[in-house]
Amino acid sequence: MNQKNLKKMARMAILIAISIVLVYFIHFPIFPQVAFLEYDPADISILIAGFAYGPISGIAVTIIASVIQGLTVSAQSGLYGIIMHIIATTALVGVSSLYYSKHKTKKGALLSLVFGCIAMVLVMGVANLIVTPYFMGVSVEAVIGLMPFILAFNLIKAVLNSLITFILYKRISPILHD
């Protein structure tokens, strides 16, 4: 392995660690009615990895961070939490970083994050209808009843994490590419 790849892997590992630390220190419910849906800023460092190193790296960081978080700081959500985090963040990071990899401008970054937010909300609407009944033992109708909260939660989480990423990325990008 050459030194460039080794540096990239080390930086990706640091971004994974930052994601885990962020979840450990910052997580809270947005809607009391669905307190199990907690905002956390874990996707910020994952989005940064996707922007810096491309969509494949962003998705790899997503999967590794999700599994580690699900086995440690978010263990109470179990396999369900790991799966849902992978699905949600892959939609956000995959779409955002794919678009950004082809449009590396400020406008491109903004549009990529908008597209990623839309993808996350749409994908999580469908994922909750499929995955949640199986893992939570509830009916699809019960999930449909919660859908306004689920969609709003995913939109708020995606937008907040995207805005913070948009503000931070260009400032820290030189560190990730030296």
Residue 161 resides in a domain: yes
> How far is 127 from 123, CA to CA, in rounded Å?
6
Strand ranges (E), the chain: 28-29, 38-39
Chunked mean pLDDT (size 10), the chain, 178 residues: 92 98 95 92 98 98 97 91 97 98 97 98 98 95 97 98 97 91
Residue 1 confidence (pLDDT): 75
Residue 69 resides in a domain: yes
The SS3 call for residue 53 is helix
Any idea what the CATH number is for the domain that residue 159 is in?
1.10.1760.20
Residue 14 resides in a domain: yes
> How far is 54 from 38, CA to CA, in rounded Å?
27
Residue 22 resides in a domain: yes
Predicted TM-score (pTM) of this structure:
0.96
> How far is 141 from 171, CA to CA, in rounded Å?
45
Structural domain including 68 reads 3-28+38-176
- With tokens 């609407």, the residue in question is 125
Residue 73 resides in a domain: yes
Residue 91 resides in a domain: yes
Residue 39 confidence (pLDDT): 96
Residue 135 confidence (pLDDT): 92
Residue 178 confidence (pLDDT): 77
Residue 33 resides in a domain: no
Residue 152 resides in a domain: yes
Residue 173 confidence (pLDDT): 94
Number of domains in the chain: 1
